[in-house]
Each structure stands twice: as structure tokens, then as C-alpha cells.
Amino acid sequence: MRFAGKVAVVTGSGSGIGQAISVRLAGEGAVVVGSDINAAGLEKTAAMVAEGAAFHSAVSDVRSRDTCHELVASVVADHGRLDVLCNVAGVARGHRVGDVDQEAWDLIFGVNVEGLFWMSQAALPHLESSRGCIVNMASNAGLMGQAYTVPYCASKGAVIQITKAMAMEVIKSGVRVNAVAPGGVETNLSASFGFPDDPDMELMGLYMGFRGMAQANDIASAVAYLASDEAHRIHGAVLSVDAGLTAG
């Protein structure tokens, strides 16, 4: 019950890693508000939460600054505080460089970067009051170049730099800002990634790793640790959970 008495917001809560984090934090005592654009997914998450645990759904699109600020304000109005923000909502697509259009670029950056920033901006004043924390979802793709994923890699590189820059800006406050950088995880996001036709498998093999894909619960464990008081000395860090993929 590491999160008893605490209030957490998890974006991307309707599936995959966000769903696993929501179930984990609620199971450890947090009041969790799960945000997602997918209402049906949020219903599924709510059904997975243990009996007696607190999970509340909020259908929202994090690409809108106003929506993010309204969501955070409503959470604080309803629950009196905010202790943990987990920015997990994400979009992943595979493209050759020449095939990336404006719509694809804007979608990836709108969800992965802008949504994370707007949620953090809205949450920070409340996290300063509670001496809370932010955990961002980065990726091994933000730490290494990968063929056919230039927009996605760029967005996750931005997540890492936002994490570090924000950590420096709030370093004199009690707020902690960290990120988790998974490798491949078996989720709907990875299953629907969609590489271009006839990719060069030699290029893709460079970032496949040797230990297989993780489960969403593996990443939820790392996030729960970083969000807990056990990690009170960890600030501005990027925790790789990729089975050694970026070690070399």
C-alpha cells in the first residue's frame, strides 16, 4: 500500500502500459484517475481494478492544452490533491522518411510530446504542494536511432529532454521528475505499429534485442517504484527497462 492516501493521474489508461500502471497504483492504495481517448478501454481498465480499489475514468484527448488543464483541475477539485502524474499516452507508427506526412507527424508529436507537456504544466503547481512526482514514458527509441521510426524516435527523444529540463527547473522544489524507457513491450501499441512494406530486416535487427519483449506489468513495476517514496532520491533520471538493448 505504498500509495495509500495519494491521488494519481495516468494518461493512456485505456490499454497496455497505462492500463497496467493504473491497476498497479490502485491496487497499492492510490485513488487513480485514468485518462484516455478510448472510453471502452477505460471501462475495461475499471473492470480489472481490484474490488475496493479506487479508479475513475476520464475520457479526454491530451493533445489539447485546455483539456489537460481542465482534467487536472477537476481531479484536484474532486479529490483535494494530486500526488502522482504518469504521462503514458502514446502513439507509435512506422514510416520511411519520405512517406511521413503532416498528419502522421502532428499525431505522434501531439500525443507523445505536447500531451505530456500540457499535463505536466497543469499538474506542477499541485505536485509542488504535495511534494509529488511525474513519471514520463520514454522509450529505447529516444536513446538510439532506429530505421523507419524517425518521428517516433524524435518524439521519445523529446520526452527524455523534457524530463531532464523540467527536473532541473523544479530541482529546488520537492517535486521529482523521472522517465522510464522501455524496449519492446507486448501491447496493442506494438502489435499495431505497422512497418512499411518490404523493410530491410538487417536494419531492424539492430534494435530487436536478445531477450524478447516485456509485458506491460514489467513496466508498471518500474513506474510504481519511481512514483513511490522509495525512490525519493531519484530525480531527473531515465530508467531503461529494455533487457540490455541500449547497454552497448
Residue-wise pLDDT for 35-64, tens only, equals 999 999 999 999 999 898 999 999 999 999
- On average, the pLDDT of the chain sits at 95
Confidence label for 214 from pLDDT (cuts 50, 70 and 90): very high
CA distances from 87 to 7, 92, 209, 244, 247 (A): 14, 15, 25, 24, 25
Closest by Cα among 58, 57, 7, 56 to 28: 7
Q: In the structure, what pLDDT confidence band is assigned to residue 123 with cuts at 50, 70 and 90?
A: very high
Using 50, 70 and 90 to split pLDDT, how confident is the model at 181? very high
Active-site positions?
152
For residue 5, is pLDDT > 90?
Answer: yes
Integer CA distances (angstroms), 13 to 168, 181, 245, in order: 28, 18, 26
With cut-offs at 50, 70 and 90, classify the pLDDT of residue 9: very high
Give me the mean pLDDT over the 159-170 stretch. Answer: 98
DSSP 233: T
Q: How far is CA 165 from CA 121, 159, 169, 172, in A?
A: 13, 10, 6, 13
Kindly give the pairing relationship between strand 176-182 and strand 84-87.
Answer: unpaired
At residue 131, the pLDDT reads 97
| Distance in angstroms (rounded) separating the CA atoms of residues 150 and 200 | 15
Residue with the bigger pLDDT between 201 and 161: it is: 161
What does the pLDDT look like over 76-116, one tens digit per residue? 999 999 999 999 999 999 999 999 999 999 999 999 999 99
Nearest to 16 by CA among 145, 184, 151, 163: 184
- Report pLDDT digits (tens) over 57-87: 999 999 999 999 999 999 999 999 999 999 9
Evaluate if residue 190 carries a pLDDT over 90. Answer: no
Vertex 96 angle, CA 93 and 98, to 5°: 120
Residue 183, number of CB atoms within 10 A of its CB: 24
pTM, entire model:
0.94
